[in-house]
Structure 1
């Protein structure tokens, strides 16, 4: 279970970095993004620790952690994979040009992201 908490902490840091890159390029915007993830993580941890002593099963906590880790990994992978494309689309919008449609290679990257996420999640299961 300790391994899952460590993996969840690493996934939370990755998610905070991704959120920070999505917020405005101001110091306040970056802190808002990081604080958002920290508050959500603290709430989830307190809920998990609170339910651990009650009737909640250990399997429920494990499943919740795995879902969080998987979602964070996938979101971080997609952000890294599409950051260049996304910036180009933002520039096109600023210039008044139409946004490009997704191509087959973009969908392939999304499916590969799911495969990688599952491959990372299997040893944690």
Structure 2
């Protein structure tokens, strides 16, 4: 029931509702208009699931610059903030990232040097 009437929503519409709410929260906190985003998704999403996420972003009036795998986002965050990575001429630092979600387990192993992932 929505506004006292029965409605049937597709998954893109429900996801767009969530993105719209997140956009509203971000705009209230930033006190700026939010028009672009990067959305992280599980690495096992199929092409049709990825397309559905992009469609939901459009419905929410968001320009999705990139869909990024969750594990890639975590590795990128680690590499950006880690200050003691070896130089480009040294052996890379090998790091494993483990994501134990509700219904899936994802493991990524990455090699890091300063300025390189």
Q: TM-score, normalised by structure 1?
A: 0.27
Higher-Rg member (1/2): 2
Looking at secondary structure, tell me which structure has more helix per residue: 1
Flag the structure with higher strand content. 2
